[in-house]
Amino acid sequence: MSNLIGFYYNYNQGTNGTNYPSIAQWPQGYVPIAIHSFDYDNDHIGNPDATCKRQDDIWKLAQQTPEYQNFVNNATFKASLAQVQNLTGWTDLNFENMWYIDDTLYIEHFVYNLPKVDTNLLKLFDFINLTTDISYDWTNGWELTPYKGINFTEELRKVRGGTLLWSIIDLMNNKIYCRTNPTDTSGLCNWMNKLKYYAYSAHDTTLAALFATFGFKRPNYNEDGYPHYSSCVTVELWLDNNTKPYVKVLYWPLNQDIEYVTQYITGCDENCSLDKFINRSLPYKPGNDGNIVEWCNVPLFGEESTTPKSKAGMSIRILNLIYNLILIMCLISALLI
């Protein structure tokens, strides 16, 4: 929403009672801006953990890998886990939900320096944080070797970040098509010809899932852990001097300089042609047509899938979700033609 306010806020043009509510609590002059939201459990663009039987099956297989089993059955891990369980009273705490404790300690102590944070728990923060980082890595396909013929790097990234990646690509393809077909007066081209900016906003998990499809080294581009508050990435479509489209990607981490990261996307160079960007992204396209709901129902090893069919179909979300204890992700696809 803050992105849109920056574009459209005009103190002098709105009419009180007409363009915005005539109530004392309303920010004077602010005209409401329509945004599109989508059911969280079925939002495969904004929510990497949306309902997906195939992802569940892949993760169950990941739990059988030597990496996973060696880690969770390590005596040191078990002893430290028992300490955290005892201090928090959370008897069901495990490797996969440790991030709740990690997030809480980070926010309460390291961000806000609140009083009464358990000092004994803080002494275990390195263990908690390391466990969380490893969980983030494996969840998004980092550091897991193939097992029983399943390539986790490709499979997990396809179901978690592939839909967002291909949503961006589809926008770019449509932009180029409508630009090169000026006689097309369809509703699509009427919209695309005017479009310069498209924003998605969801979570830190969303940004990490996209970074995984980019082939970055870590979930936070080049660092362990998920991206921090208000971190943002821009995916920009440009034309070169020969009117050939190419892609530029910039990362805007919290309180740090903007980084030009296109050349670190696997299969790309500094100015990545759109064709090259599309071709390197093919392994992360869900199925042949990008239909994630159908792909989620494709059996991993031949068993029947039970992923519910989405009633609303697919959606490209432009939503600012501010979640308690969840970092905010802002991803902008700028169509600069």
Q: Are 317 and 46 in contact (CB under 8 A)?
A: yes
Contacts (Cβ under 8 Å, ≥6 apart) of 80? 124, 127
Q: Half-sphere exposure (CA, 13 Å, Cβ side) for 321?
A: 25
Rounded Cα distance between 132 and 104, Å, is: 12
Q: Which two tokens stand for residue 155?
A: 């499979």
Nearest CA to 72 among 135, 8, 163? 135
150, β-bridge pairs: 147
Would the CA dihedral through 43, 47, 48, 54 be positive or negative?
A: negative
| CA distances from residue 72 to 95, 177, 179, 229 in whole angstroms, order as listed | 7, 51, 54, 30
pLDDT in tens, the chain (337 residues): 777 777 776 667 778 898 888 999 988 778 888 788 899 999 999 999 999 999 999 999 999 999 999 999 999 999 999 999 999 999 999 999 999 999 999 999 999 999 999 999 999 999 999 999 999 999 999 999 999 999 999 999 999 999 999 999 999 999 999 999 999 999 999 999 999 999 998 899 999 999 999 999 999 999 999 999 889 999 999 999 999 999 999 999 988 999 999 999 999 999 999 999 999 999 999 998 999 999 999 999 875 544 444 433 333 332 332 222 223 334 444 444 4
| CA distances from residue 328 to 122, 165, 249, 270 in whole angstroms, order as listed | 24, 18, 19, 28
Residue 171's CB is within 10 A of a number of other CB atoms, namely: 18
22 by DSSP, 3-state: which? coil
Rounded Cα distance between 176 and 169, Å, is: 11
| CA distances from residue 131 to 70, 95, 136, 321 in whole angstroms, order as listed | 13, 7, 9, 26
